[in-house]
Amino acid sequence: MSELKLKARAKINLGLDVIRKREDGYHDLRMVMQTIGLCDELVLSQVETEGIFVSTNRPELPTDERNLVYRAARLLREEFGLPGGIRIHLEKKIPMAAGLAGGSTDAAAVLKGMNDLYSLGLSEAQLCERGVKLGADIPYCIMGGTALAEGIGERLTRLPEAPQCSVLLTKPWIDVSTAFVYGHLRADELQDHPDIDGQIAAVWSGDFSGMTEKMGNVLETVTIPAYPVVQEIKEEMLELGAAGAMMSGSGPTVFGLFDDREKAEAAYRRMCENGAGRDVFLTEFFQPDGREQDR
């Protein structure tokens, strides 16, 4: 095998709670994570010339060590002394700085892809051990599906498949820095916390209504006051029939969950027409078992 084509899928947070700020500056989290069909595409090729060669369809993306894709490839090349070089082309479709783990899922795909391309024999757990050195979301992106993430995001518990539904995504015309959001979060002053355990119970029982009722993201307490458009998009999605709407991660992307595909398609058309979002997508939950659920 000398070339491999991969899809790197985005994630949303169905629930995101911050427990406390740690002494090392990180935050202890409890999150219910879900892979969705929206994806970047990567092509990994072995080449004779020594080095790591990254190209992309987005000219604003760096192609050196500032890119997580590059750092993921370098990590495995250095550890295993891999011969020759690796060429990586990244076709970027997931919006950047969006709260959808676009960079993390690309890095996860490179780790998994190089494991296969070079027959390294690393297990999923061993890949996750390496991935967390590069980013807290990477272990989840390696595993995918429906999961509880704890700690800084690296402690993962696989959950049953969440009830299938349509997912409407809208990223407004702003970028939000994750560092800004966590830097302004007052974890010890939070009054309301999402019911993560209740949401997990709803997932286990296949209760779509229960799952959406328990949605919550404490990072909205920072992002929405700074960027009110996030709340405006949430409210519009609910008016258009979403069973639940919430910001993903540190934002600014908002997602709405629909159990009625026709309502979701009508809402997608409306969100495209009103110009509130720079990027608008309609997709579904994705489970990493080989079944394409994306339409």
Residue with tokens 């010890």: 188
Contacts of 262 (CB under 8 A, 6+ apart): none
Q: Whose CA is closest to 168, among 66, 112, 104, 248? A: 248
DSSP count for the chain of H helices, then E strands = 10, 11
DSSP conformation class of 285:
B
Contact between residue 132 and residue 138 where contact means Cβ atoms under 8 Å apart: yes
Q: How many residues does the chain have?
A: 295
Gap between the terminal Cα atoms of the chain: 30
CB contact at 8 A, 71 and 187: no
Longest distance between any two alpha carbons in the chain, whole Å: 57
CA-closest candidate to residue 29, choices 21, 40, 18: 18
Active site residues: 11, 137
